[in-house]
Amino acid sequence: MSASEQTNWQSVHDEVLRRIHTREWKPGDQIPKEVELAEQLGCARATVNRALRELAAEGFLDRRRKAGTRVATHPVRRAKLDIPVIRLEIEGRGQKYGYGLLLTERRTPTPEICANLGVSAKSDMLHISSLHLADGKPYMFEERWVSIDTVPEIVDADLSKISANEWLVLHAPYTKGDISFSAVLASELEAKILRTHAGAPLFLMERTTWENDAGITSARLLFAPGYRMHSAI
């Protein structure tokens, strides 16, 4: 405690976390106010503030003006999922990335897609199906709709060379996005594409993005059997 030489915000962070872990401060307990902690630990209040702010963001503390800082009673753990471009995810594991464009068509969207993106049924959209491979094996089947109204440049992109996902990342930044995960059964067609059998359990990721309420894209990403998404908490 007082004997520590280094008094940077990280050491304060770690010290507070230690006291929580050792149950010196229990869930629900009020901890000393910033000024007191700063005195105890021999640093400026701003330093303590930085440490406690991060701990609150990590879910370990609840802070409220006037009420003080308390150890979270139900430490909501926040898993941070990095959602990289698929190519980088595969290459990052040392596998060879492959990509195949299966279909592109320009047409009006299905009612479901309209609802997702919040666009009219007459929207001009690009429908893209593609397959991503890892070491030559099917890895993920992507079905995507892109709003041509919002991103007109997409019609000039060569989507046989660069995946729609990657093109969009570079050319159409979004301001808002939704992502969801679930489990589904492979249909006949999906099974064929992913080289598995109908009825196999597939991990499904659905993403929709907007630029200031203008729908950009809605995608359905179906991963081959055996896929696991993981993270540290």
96-106 in b/e form (b: 16+ CB < 10 A) is ebbbebeebee
Among 115, 184, 189, 198, interactor with a second copy by CB under 8 A:
184
Q: Which region, left, alpha or beta, applies to residue 38 given φ > 0 means left and ψ of -120 to 50 means alpha?
A: alpha
Q: Is the CB of 6 or the CB of 212 nearer to a second copy?
A: 212
Tell which positions 58-87 bind a second copy, by CB under 8 A. Answer: 73-85
Q: Is the CB of 10 or the CB of 160 nearer to DNA?
A: 10
92 binds a second copy (CB under 8 A): no
Question: Which positions ≥6 away from 56 have C-beta within 8 Å?
Answer: 62, 63, 69
* Minimum distance of DNA from residue 54's CB (angstroms): 10
Are the C-beta atoms of residues 225 and 198 closer than 8 Å to each other? no
Q: Is the CB of 36 or the CB of 112 nearer to a second copy?
A: 112
Q: How many CB atoms lie within 10 A of CB 73?
A: 10
**Could you tell which of DNA, a second copy, none binds residue 76, using a CB distance below 5 to 8 A set by kind?**
a second copy
231 binds a second copy (CB under 8 A): yes
Of 232, 208, 211, 210, the C-alpha closest to 221 is 208
Which listed range, 93-101, 117-125, 155-163, 219-227, lies at the site for a second copy (CB under 8 A)? 219-227
**Could you tell which of a second copy, DNA, none binds residue 122, using a CB distance below 5 to 8 A set by kind?**
none
State the maximum Cα–Cα separation within the chain, in Å, rounded to a whole number.
Answer: 70
Instruction: Report the interface residues with a second copy, using CB under 8 A.
Output: 20-21, 23, 27, 73-85, 88, 169-170, 173, 175-185, 199, 201-204, 207, 209, 211, 225-233
